[in-house]
A = this chain, B = another copy of it.
Amino acid sequence: MSMTSGSRKRRQRQDKITLSDVAHQAGVSAITVSRALREPEKVSPPLREAILKVVEEMGYVPDLAARALASKNSGLVGVMSPGLTSHAFLALIRGIEDRVRSSDLRIQYASAETDTEDQLRQLRFFLSQNPAGLIHVGQIGDPAIDDLLRHAPCPVVEIMDVSREPSDMAIGIDHRQAAKTATRHLLEKGYRRIAMLGGAWDFRARRRLEGFRAVLEEAGLFDPALVLSIDGSTSVGLGCHLLDRLKSEAPDAEAAFCHNDDIALGVLFECQRRGLAVPQDFGICGFNDLDYAGFAFPAITSVRVPRYEIGYRAVDMIIRAAGSDTSPTKRVDLGYQLVQRGSTARTG
């Protein structure tokens, strides 16, 4: 046909249109075009319209690198977490994007691995872009990461858990308390040999284990043999595997507080496979209250975490922190909610 797409593209790269191209065409100076774009109210209406028309015609697109360099303001907010792509973060990301849409900020995600080295790599990478803010899924305990966050030259919001003093700001829930509520619920339903099944023991999972353990110890029912997990990421398959292990190591186990809903779902399937009736023979409580929890059969009791709101307000906190000098709220606990469903609805 015509020339290859490759050469066409290469050519285009050369004729990049700059601010002064537009200015020249419109018969004004570059700075006026710049203002017409960023601070329209500072340019007289007729001129403004004329400029915007030229911008449109020429297909001018501002160069964000140049803008960031000149203004020392990248407008970039970095969001970082291991396993950011997990189902549980979907609502979080929606919240973030919704809040960002009406601002001039932009978001960049980094789905780091769980190891410290990779997280540091990603953090440094954000820092090299003069970020306007950082959102970090507190998963820490690592002093090197803490240190980097504490010295970051921008607002930092640690999200999901608020049970400890944040480097800068934090928003989320108290995972220790949430676990207590869930565990008490299982006790109230008459379960006694209660297990905790989970995956990687990140910071939040450890907090939940603390809550779980505290409640059961108070009741004189805690048994470390009922706490099962393996390293690595959680999955439905892992839930199946853990129930298997649990029932072979402790056949009398009669309920499980699960690390998340994926695990809970796996446990449910494995119960079905083994002919264990849920909730009569075995009770299941998940965590996060993902969309499917309410639709499983039986529906899965879970702990609802306000993930959308956490994301929305995390961005909000960054905007506020950048805006005013008055020190804003540093720690926000949004609370959780135990959603009781069929998987723990044992009667008698």
**B-contacting residues of A (Cβ < 8 Å)?**
4-6, 9, 12-13, 16, 61-66, 68-69, 74, 85-87, 89-90, 93, 97, 106, 108-109, 111, 124-125, 127-130, 150-155, 167-168, 235-237, 239-240, 262, 265-266, 269-270, 272-273, 291-292, 294-297, 321, 325, 327
Is the beta-carbon distance between B236 and A153 smaller than 8 angstroms?
A: no
Q: Which of B16, B151, B266, B294 contacts A295 (CB 8 A)?
A: B266
List, in ascending order, chain B residues with CB within 8 A of A270's CB. Answer: 295, 297
Contact residue among B97, B106, B153, B239 (Cβ-Cβ distance under 8 Å from A12): B153
Question: What copy number does this chain have within its complex?
Answer: 2
User: By the criterion CB–CB under 8 Å, are A9 and B62 in contact?
Assistant: no
The interface residues of chain A, by DSSP majority, are classed as: helix
| A85 CB contacts on chain B under 8 angstroms | 85, 89-90, 93
Given A66-B69, A106-B125, A273-B297, output 11 extra A-B contacts at Cβ < 8 Å: A5-B168, A9-B155, A61-B127, A65-B65, A85-B90, A93-B111, A108-B109, A109-B109, A235-B291, A269-B295, A270-B297
- Residue from B64, B93, B111, B154 within 8 A of A128 (CB atoms): B64
Bound state CA distance, A97 and B85, in angstroms? 12
Residues of the B chain whose Cβ atoms lie less than 8 Å from the Cβ of A153: 9, 12-13, 16
- Do residues A291 and B64 form an inter-chain contact, with CB atoms below 8 A? no
**Structural contact, A294 and B69, CB atoms closer than 8 A:** no
Docked-complex contact A65 and B68, CB < 8 angstroms:
yes
Query: How many angstroms between the C-alpha atoms of A74 and B94 in the bound complex?
Result: 27
| Alpha-carbon separation in the docked complex, A151 to B12 (Å) | 8
State whether A237 and B292 are in contact (beta carbons under 8 Å apart), knowing that A127-B61, A128-B61 are contacts in the complex: yes
Q: Among the interface residues A86, A153, A235, A266, which one has the most CB atoms of the partner chain B within 10 A?
A: A153
Taking CB atoms, residues of chain B closer than 8 Å to A167 are 5
Contacts of A61 in B (CB 8 A): 124, 127-128
With beta carbons under 8 angstroms apart, the residue of B16, B111, B292 that contacts A265 is B292
Task: Write 19 A-B pairs (CB below 8 A) sorted by A numbering.
Answer: A5-B150, A9-B153, A9-B155, A9-B168, A16-B153, A63-B129, A63-B130, A64-B128, A85-B85, A97-B111, A108-B108, A236-B292, A237-B292, A262-B292, A265-B292, A266-B295, A269-B297, A270-B295, A272-B297
The CA of A196 and the CA of B265, in the complex, are separated in Å by: 25
Report yes or no: B64 in contact with A129, Cβ–Cβ below 8 A.
yes
A9 touches B266 (CB 8 A): no
Instruction: State how many angstroms separate the Cβ of A112 from the closest Cβ of chain B.
Output: 9
Contacts of A65 in B (CB 8 A): 64-66, 68-69, 74, 129-130
Question: A62–B87 Cα gap in the complex (Å)?
Answer: 34
Residues of B within 8 Å of A297, CB to CB, are 269-270, 272-273
CB neighbours of A86 from chain B (8 A):
90
Question: In the complex, A121 Cα to B161 Cα: how many Å?
Answer: 33
The residues of B that contact A64 with a CB separation of less than 8 Å are 65, 128-129
Q: Determine how close the nearest CB of chain B comes to the CB of A258; give it in whole angstroms.
A: 14
The CA of A6 and the CA of B16, in the complex, are separated in Å by 39
A16 to B125, CA, bound (A): 15
Q: Are A291 and B237 in contact (CB under 8 A)?
A: yes
